[in-house]
Structure 1
Amino acid sequence: MMKPPLALAGVVRLRRELVAEGMTDDQIARLVRAKALTRIRYGAYVPTSVWLQATEEERHRLLCRAVVARADPMTALTHVSSVVERCVPVWGFDLGVVHTTRLGADRAGRKLADWTPHRGVLGDDDVEELHGLTISTAARSAFEVTTITGIEPALVVVNRLLHARAMTLQDLEHQVEAHADWPGSLTATIVLRLADARLESVGEDRFSYVTYTQGLPRPEPQWEVRDENGTLVARLDFAWPDHGVFVEFDGRMKYERYRRDGETLEEFLMREKRREELVCQLTGWTCIRVTWADLARPERLAARIRAVFESRRREGRRLGA
């Protein structure tokens, strides 16, 4: 029951277009004051009704169109802007800033509050067309992201692109090798080591990163649980089979993705509870529920997980005695 994406074609209108259609600056200003139009940057407007219903990512895509419309014709969306244009989830970025690079030019341009032009030569093999815009390829944009952010946001981007099958890990490795002299090579190297296409959400990406930074054993993602007849009853977000512990991430995306048509949130949660109980009965394992708030306190989350590990270890000793 996820909200369908907005249709963005032709939504952004430049001042020069509105004037060419017969409107005056005073009329445009009156439409803005009446909240019929919203100015998203200097000289660029969208219908307020569209802006209000747009997600943060859709607003970024609208801003991208406003920037590109007034930029050099050889300008391509790159870095995180290229990723967002693919409708691939990101985390930890300021989506009020558009990132671009000019094709065939090893120079950037003046940085603005809502626009960061980057240096770096883009060849024909580095770009593609999508939704009427020129954007950097998935692997190129994934590498670009590692040069402007930390490991965790970059890992989210790489995992989401891998999971969407927009690129392969080998594609990214080739980009890293080809740009070994660029800043951010250490970030790219670590991200390559941690990347996992099996992870299905930003929350899972971030939890995986917590296990890395907190020195926890690396869990197995998408662990399958079957009943006595071999029928698949659940795929767990993460599991530590040796410890008898599994993790389920509670996030909005899970509710939106797995709720059945006509099912209320309460009905969905009850069905999830029954599923968890069945998994515990079949495996004898302990479930740890993780939320977005938990990810903001990684040390505390790691301590809770270690405490469950220790409790399971003591229980195993007691039963074996």
Structure 2
Amino acid sequence: MTRTSSFPIDLHDIKLRRQLIASGWTDRDIARAVRSGLIHRIRYGAYVDACLWSRIEGQRDEHRVRARAVLRTAHSSSVLTHQSSAAEWEIPLWRLCLDDVSLTRTDEVSGRREAGITHHAGRLPLDQITVRHGVPVSTAGRTAVELLSTTDAELGYCLLNGFLNLGHTRLEEVRRIAAQTERWPNTLGTRIAIGLADPRLGSVAESRFMFLCFREGVPLPEPQVEVRDETSQLLGFVDFLWRKHRLFVEFDGRIKYEVFRRPGESLADYIQREKRREELIVRATGWMCIRITWADLADPSALARRILAILASRAPTAA
């Protein structure tokens, strides 16, 4: 059978209890099949072949399977929204809660909660619905606004930049949808996030750092700055730069290593290459580098004080 998406489990792969009973199974047969590892129970009354379930990796994919099981019994106008839509858009979901599946109906039925499902109230126009990986979801711009209204400011900002960086939506679309939903909660946080949003921020760490600067009163740096030598040869990019203070920031971390290391390159080789790149940039520009890690972001006040002290020690120059 032709699959409708690259995700290993489609809607038709999920079998409901009533289907199994209709095909001759008994509840005892179902229980025995679950115990023996033949099928996997996704949620109450919904099952999938255990071989397909074995291909599922991580909390995001498990949520996507549960969302498909919910859609199998939901009202026909139901659309995956909020975190359930974000999971289908495959943006970084750092600390986004995936415990419940989120749905919104196009017939504007009032919201409610039931076991493992949140039914959201509100109008969902047809032009803010699309199909992704074979399931109906809110568009990327709409999903970004939904999350901005239901999460804290830092998380919402990181998620918004994830959509923008991957090219799933544009800031103009997010602004337009936000203007249509001005009566939703957290409109102040939404406006702040949209004002700070930058598609150049390619990781959660970068977004968290920019938000930290805003919140802690650190002058906002330029992200992802291209650096060239006097012959215009590209030396590389720096994560953040305060140009007038001749200071740049580089992130250290496992994710960066996994993304940017070359085929066959060891961690030690990658670190040495990064060190040489940093030295070339420092020699060519006269800038100073400070390196920060994910752990540094856990104490924003301390990191802000450290950066402000360095900025204060380096008199600004003309741009």
TM-score, scaled relative to structure 2: 0.89
Give 1:35 deviation, angstroms: 4.5
Alignment deviations for residues 246-265 of structure 1 (CA, whole Å, 9 cap, x no partner):
11123333222212122222
Alignment of 1:128-277 (within 5 A): 128-277=130-279
1:33–1:297 CA distance, 2 compared to 1 (3 A): farther
1:52–1:129 CA distance, 2 compared to 1 (3 A): closer
Q: CA separation in 1, counterparts of 2:178 and 2:164?
A: 16
Aligned equivalent of 1:97, options 97, 100, 109: 100
Q: CA separation in 2, counterparts of 1:287 and 1:12?
A: 53
Q: CA separation in 1, counterparts of 2:240 and 2:13?
A: 42
Give 1:101 deviation, angstroms: 0.3
Q: CA separation in 1, counterparts of 2:131 and 2:55?
A: 28
Give 1:59 deviation, angstroms: 1.6
Q: CA separation in 2, counterparts of 1:251 and 1:59?
A: 26
Tell me which residue corresponds to 1:7: 8
1:44–1:252 CA distance, 2 compared to 1 (3 A): farther
Q: CA separation in 2, counterparts of 1:85 and 1:148?
A: 18
Q: Once structures 1 and 2 are overlaid, which stretch shifts more, 213-222 or 181-190?
A: 181-190
* Contact preservation (8 Å) 1:51, 1:59: no
Give 1:311 deviation, angstroms: 4.2
* Contact preservation (8 Å) 1:83, 1:141: yes
Alignment deviations for residues 10-55 of structure 1 (CA, whole Å, 9 cap, x no partner):
5544333444454433333234334554433212234277357512
Tell me which residue corresponds to 2:3: none
Tell me which residue corresponds to 1:302: 304
Alignment of 1:80-119 (within 5 A): 80-109=83-112, 111-119=113-121
- Counterpart of 1:289 in 2: which secondary structure? strand
Alignment gaps of 5+ in structure 2: 1-5
Q: CA separation in 2, counterparts of 1:8 and 1:245?
A: 48
Q: How many residues align?
A: 310
TM-score, scaled relative to structure 1: 0.88
1:24–1:284 CA distance, 2 compared to 1 (3 A): farther
Q: Once structures 1 and 2 are overlaid, which stretch shifts more, 303-312 or 228-237?
A: 303-312
Q: Percent identity?
A: 42
Alignment deviations for residues 259-314 of structure 1 (CA, whole Å, 9 cap, x no partner):
2122222222222222222222222222222222211211111122123324445x
Aligned equivalent of 1:69, options 69, 72, 77: 72
Alignment gaps of 5+ in structure 1: none
Q: CA separation in 2, counterparts of 1:187 and 1:233?
A: 38
